[in-house]
Amino acid sequence: RNSVFSMHPKTLHVKEYHLLSEGQAVGAGKGESRGITPYGLDYSPVDGTIWYSKLNGNRIGRIDPKVPDGDIREWNPPFRGPRRLHLDKDGVVWVPGFGSGVLGKFDPRTEKWTVYALPDAENQIPYALNIDPKGNVWICGTGNDTMHRFNPKTEELVEFRMPTRVTYTREIEFDADGNV
């Protein structure tokens, strides 16, 4: 439906946010295809905005639920295949580049992208990422059975080989102590 829905847990009131159509994103047209299904979702701890990626639409977007129509904006990243994005404690959006083997960083304040190439990029297929309690960004390499820890302050990337082949990690979570 090219929509994102919210539901209040007590009243069960449902609100639909109609997302932008083809060609309406900032930098629209680069790598877009049919099927612009909203996919990854997260919220900003800074301002409460809701962020999403669009599967096959090759973009990320933001909904401001404090505004009646959601004040929806979308951006086309400088890489292919944004997937399961997450925001850090400062509201910076981190995006895996599934179709390009990169890690993308989007700063909503400046609307600027920084892209970090992952080693062995053509075999990475980074699908999911998450941010641990220390602020490290963890990215899975689904195509080559790896996990990576990226330190945004030092820009150091450490690769961890998974113990078995074809692990295809789809989510990354942490326990109370920050263990993956």
pLDDT by 10s per residue, the chain, length 180: 789 999 999 999 999 999 988 777 776 666 666 667 888 899 999 999 999 998 778 899 999 999 988 899 999 999 988 999 999 999 999 999 998 999 999 999 999 999 999 998 888 889 999 999 999 999 998 888 899 999 999 999 999 998 888 877 888 999 989 899
Q: How far apart are CA 41 and CA 133, in angstroms?
A: 19
Q: How far apart are CA 44 and CA 22, in angstroms?
A: 25
Would you state the pLDDT for residue 172?
Answer: 92
Whether 20 contacts 29, CB under 8 Å: no
- 3-state DSSP assignment of residue 22: coil
Would you state the pLDDT for residue 61?
Answer: 95
Would you state the pLDDT for residue 176?
Answer: 87
Q: Which residue in 150, 8, 124, 135 sits closest to 65, CA to CA?
A: 8
pTM reported for the whole predicted model: 0.91
